[in-house]
Structure formats: structure tokens, C-alpha cells
């Protein structure tokens, strides 16, 4: 009988996290573009909804534009949700889709920490304690040292 995987988050090595960077870059860029398009569609929708609420008929061109724009907004929102799901399914711990901030669970000694990557960085170049957050980022070289995180790194 096959063993089921251990419960808990997927643990990454620096190399495994770096291997995901190209995929994450592509997905997050698509997420960003879709988000910009969705915001533009929402801005336009507010105008068309005002027109529609003023008693326009169903065959009014503005009413048809409203319906088309609502479908587009739903498609964009669904595309963004799919991208979020794909990133989560890869085992990543996204901190901000909008800012392109992604963490990866890892072990430093016997301590669970995050490898930290942000869109625009060529590779995972930082890590931090779970409680530390982005402000507590430390250079990846200190992660690769054998020493476990000290109290200051724990937040």
C-alpha cells in the first residue's frame, strides 16, 4: 500500500524554488495585466451602469456594451483566480499577488522558514523566519549557512 504524503506544506530547496521562478514570472505578469484590464473594465462598467439605470431599453447600444463588458470582467476575474490557484497548487505561499511577492516553505536546520522571492528578482535571493515577513528578509547566503536561525531572526 502506497504511503500518503506527509501532512504540511511542501518544503523547497533553494534550487527547487529557483526552478519555479520562470513560471511564476509568467503567471504574475499575466495576473498583473489581467488586473489592470479588470480595473479598466470596472471603471467603464460604472459609467455604463449609470446609463442602464437611467431607464435605457434592452436594445440600447449602451445596454449591449454593458452586458459585453460584464462578461469580459467575469472572464478576467476567472483568469486571475486560475492563476492564483496554479501558484498555490505549485506549493508556493503567495504573500501578494498584486506585488508579485511569493514565499516558499523551507527548513533551516529543524526550523520552518520562508525562502522569499519578488517579481523582478532574477532568483530567490532572500529568506526570513515565518514571523519575520518581508521586512525581516535576510540574504540567501545566510540561509545556506549551517547555523540554525537565532532568536533575532524569529521575529
Return the pLDDT at 132.
Answer: 83
SS3 sequence of 82-145: HHHHHHHHCCCEEEECCCCEEEEEEEECCEEEEEEEECCCCCCCEEEECCCCHHHCEEHHHHHC
- Which residues of the chain, if any, have pLDDT below 50? 151-155
Looking at 39, 72, 90, the residue that finishes a domain is 90
Domain interval for residue 135: 94-154
CB atoms within 10 A of CB 122: 9
**pTM of structure:** 0.79
Domain-embedded: residue 58: yes
The CA distance from 85 to 113, in Å, is 22
Return the pLDDT at 4.
Answer: 58
The CA distance from 120 to 80, in Å, is 19
Do 28 and 73 fall into the same domain?
yes
Return the pLDDT at 51.
Answer: 72
SS3 sequence of 60-75: CHHHHHHHHHHHHHHH
Do 83 and 113 fall into the same domain?
no
Amino acid at each position: 500500500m502506497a504511503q500518503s504524503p506527509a501532512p504540511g506544506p511542501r518544503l523547497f530547496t533553494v534550487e527547487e524554488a529557483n526552478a519555479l521562478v520562470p513560471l511564476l514570472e509568467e503567471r504574475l505578469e499575466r495576473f498583473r495585466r489581467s488586473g489592470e484590464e479588470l480595473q479598466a473594465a470596472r471603471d467603464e462598467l460604472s459609467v455604463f451602469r449609470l446609463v442602464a439605470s437611467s431607464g435605457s431599453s434592452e436594445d440600447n447600444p449602451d445596454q449591449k456594451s454593458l452586458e459585453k463588458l460584464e462578461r469580459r470582467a467575469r472572464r478576467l476575474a476567472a483568469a486571475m483566480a486560475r492563476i492564483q490557484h496554479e501558484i498555490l497548487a505549485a506549493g508556493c505561499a503567495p504573500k501578494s499577488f498584486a506585488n508579485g511577492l511569493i514565499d516558499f516553505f523551507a527548513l533551516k536546520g529543524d526550523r520552518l522558514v520562508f525562502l522569499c522571492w519578488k517579481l523582478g528578482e532574477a532568483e530567490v535571493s532572500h529568506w526570513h523566519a515565518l514571523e519575520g515577513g518581508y521586512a525581516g528578509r535576510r540574504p540567501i547566503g545566510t540561509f545556506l549557512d549551517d547555523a540554525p536561525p537565532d532568536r533575532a531572526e524569529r521575529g
